Amino acid sequence: MSKVKLNIVGLSSGQSNGSYTLILGEEPGKRKLPIIIGSFEAQAIAIEIEKIVPFRPMTHDLFLNFARTFGVNIVEVEIYNLVDGVFHAKLICEVDGETREIDARTSDSIALAVRFKCPIYTHEHIMAEAAMIFTEDMTEDDMMEMDEFDNQPRESSEIERMSDEELEQKLTEALQVEDYQRAAILRDQLNKRK
């Protein structure tokens, strides 16, 4: 499988409460991989990128300190799968000369990657399925309106035809399976109706 190296190129607040869009860019290349993450993980990533020192260690800082204390080093983060709009990641760790893999949420993995200063990778098939090419004049609204399957702007979708009750039910289901990308789209549709 062909691996693609990614860098963090942007982090912005989403259109729905508590969601943020983390944009990873391929190196080298023009494709961007947008990932919807929660506010806590977005804050954890932003704090480390901006080199802000919190008063007390945050959870990801605690993990870093714990790992260093016991000789564990994260050498790579790998976004290895995309299932029903949910990205799956793992931490590639070294301890006592052995390599170990730990399954983790993508947002937590990236928050740790910035702390361990390790590279982030994905696979070509994930980029082919979920990446987009952003132009200079695209806004976050444009990005959120892109269809997750064919990267084309939505004309009319099933979501727009749902009742408020159906949207609320689908939103609850999306949150239960941690499909934050779909949840953000559903929440945005509900907010448009208010």
Return the pLDDT at 95: 94
Q: Which of 191, 175, 193 is nearest to 36 (CA)?
A: 175
Which tens digit of pLDDT belongs to each residue from 14-61?
656 678 889 999 998 889 999 989 888 888 898 888 887 777 888 999
Q: Which of 140, 145, 143 is nearest to 189 (CA)?
A: 145
Distance CA(145)–CA(155), nearest Å, equals: 10
Mean pLDDT of the chain: 82
H or E stretch at 9: strand 3-13
Angle at 112 between CA 108 and CA 113, to 5 degrees: 115
- Give the chain's domains with CATH numbers: 3-133 (3.10.690.10), 149-192 (no CATH)
Q: Which of 128, 127, 107 is nearest to 8 (CA)?
A: 107
Return the pLDDT at 146: 43
Which tens digit of pLDDT belongs to each residue from 66-104?
999 999 999 999 999 999 889 999 999 999 999 999 999
Distance CA(45)–CA(13), nearest Å, equals: 13
Structure tokens given for 106: 């993508």
Per the CB < 8 A criterion, the answer to whether 60 and 115 are in contact is yes
Q: What are phi and psi of 93, to 5 degrees?
A: -115, 155
Residue that has been written with the tokens 């990128």 in this structure:
49
Peptide bond into 153 cis (omega under 30): no
Distance CA(10)–CA(51), nearest Å, equals: 16
Q: Exposed (0-12), middle (13-18) or buried (19+): which is 145, by Cβ within 10 Å?
A: middle
Return the pLDDT at 152: 31
